[in-house]
Structure formats: structure tokens, C-alpha cells
Amino acid sequence: MIKTLEEGFNRLKLPYSKDIDNKFVLYRELLKEWNKKINITSIEDDEEIYIKHFLDSVLLLNEDNINENKTVIDVGTGGGFPGLPLKIINDNYKITLLDSLRKRIDFLSEITKDLELKDVKLIHGRAEDYGQNKEYRECYDICVSRAVAPLNVLSEYCIPFVKAGGYFAAYKSDNISREISNSDSAIKKLGGKIKEIKEIYLPGTDIIRKIVIIEKVEPTKIKYPRKAGKPSKDPLK
């Protein structure tokens, strides 16, 4: 296990500073405080928060993209993961956080204010609705999501937000071979193509995180995403 968050970042070869440390400490404390009032996370141990929320969120970053200037939307962000840790490490990102629960958005509003994060937009609503909204549809360089949904369902939520040439990064667990094969057709229908699957060990653990990188190769047909509730009830095949 890791002893400090800085140790974990060092293992990932990501930059760390006193300012970054202060932000993550405050984030952790506010997360624990709010978690007593609303259900944000089942993880309450400090070290597990560091590993399974903060470090897990930033696995997408490396020396090639650490300072890139991109627009990013986090769909089903929950407690702000992975969007806010990505923003803390790369302040160049213009981040939109989307969640269907108003209380989580209220929590994220306090977090972004207390951490003095700029260029963070909060949206209360459903991905199916905002994916059809011209202000958000195909407007982002990157979509990220750690939402718990099968990849074919998650792709319908997320790919419509991505502009052609951008990508969707789906944070998944280790055993996803069947999920990948069941999603191939759906991803193509939505204008995407699996570019690569990153396999990364969470620092200090034997947990493997897989991040499915889906490139947006053509515009999504206007019929997608379907109406709210339809993608989960009748997943694309």
C-alpha cells in the first residue's frame, strides 16, 4: 500500500506540489464530511480514498498529455471522479461535470469553490437529455466516465458528447473481454472505434484498472442517444 498520496503520484510519474497536496487534502475532508449527509462513496478510509478515488482518476494522465489544453466532460461524475482529480493535476482542462443527482452537484459546487478551481461547469441532469442538446452535443475533445454501466450502455451516454477526432475514455475493471465483444457493434453505430485498452496497476495494490479508449471517427447519428431510460432498458447491440 502507499503511505502518502505523493508516493502514489511519484509511482505514476505525475507532478506533485504543495498546492496539489493541499487541494487533495481538502477534497478528502469535504468528501468525508458530505458523505455523512448524502451517499457519495462507500470508501471512507483515507488511504483507500487516495488510491481508489484520487489515484485511480488520474491514471489517464501521462507525460504526453499532462499539460494538454482540452475540453472534457465527466458523465455520471458522482463525487467528481475522475473529472476533478484530472482538473487538479492539469489546470488547462476545461471541465464539465454531469450528474443526475442534485445533491451531488451541490457537493461538487462547494468543492470547486473551496479548491478555487476555474473553468469547471456543473450540470444536473441526464446524459440522454444533454447528449441531444446542441450546446453540449459533439462539443468535447474528451469524455470520461467511471459510471457503473455496461460499455454498450455507457457508450450511448458518452460518445454523443465527443467531437469527431476526440475520444471517450471508459474506466473499467480487469475482466471486460465479454463486455468489449458485446459493445463492438454499439460503438460503431455511435460513430466510435476502440483505439486501445490501457492496463494500469493502481499504485500500492494488485488491482488492475483498464481504460478503454474509444476514438470518435464520425458524427453520431441524430437518433442517439435515445430517450432517457431507453439505453439501459434496451441496450444497443
CATH, residue 11:
3.40.50.150
Copy the grid coordinates of residue 29.
Answer: 475532508
Is residue 106 predicted with pLDDT exceeding 90? Answer: yes
Copy the grid coordinates of residue 90.
Answer: 492539469
First vs last C-alpha separation in the chain: 40
**How many Cβ atoms from other residues are within 10 Å of residue 193's Cβ?**
15
Domain-embedded: residue 172 = yes
Residue 80 to residue 221: CA distance in whole angstroms: 29
- Whether 105 and 125 have beta carbons less than 8 Å apart is answered as no
Is residue 25 predicted with pLDDT exceeding 90? Answer: yes
- Whether 156 and 225 have beta carbons less than 8 Å apart is answered as yes
User: Could you tell me whether strands 208-216 and 192-201 are parallel, antiparallel, or unpaired per DSSP bridges?
Assistant: antiparallel
Residue type present at position 135? E
Domain-embedded: residue 202 = yes
- List pLDDT tens digits, range 75-105: 999 999 999 999 999 999 999 999 999 999 9
Is residue 126 predicted with pLDDT exceeding 90? Answer: yes
Nearest to 35 by CA among 88, 78, 93: 78
- List pLDDT tens digits, range 67-79: 999 999 999 999 9
What is the reported pTM? 0.96
Nearest to 29 by CA among 119, 95, 114: 114
SS3 46: helix
Residue 127 to residue 140: CA distance in whole angstroms: 14
- List pLDDT tens digits, range 138-151: 999 999 999 889 99
Residue 95 to residue 122: CA distance in whole angstroms: 9
- As a whole-number percent, the residues of the chain with pLDDT over 70 amount to 100
- List pLDDT tens digits, range 156-177: 999 999 999 999 999 998 789 9
Question: In this predicted structure, what is the pLDDT of residue 175?
Answer: 85
Domain-embedded: residue 205 = yes
Domain-embedded: residue 230 = no
Domain span holding position 109: 5-220
Domain-embedded: residue 143 = yes
Question: In this predicted structure, what is the pLDDT of residue 64?
Answer: 87
Residue 109 to residue 122: CA distance in whole angstroms: 7
The count of structural domains within the chain is: 1
17-55 burial string, b = 16+ CB within 10 Å, else e?
eeebeebbeebbebbbebbeeeebbebeeeeebbbbbbb
Domain-embedded: residue 231 = no
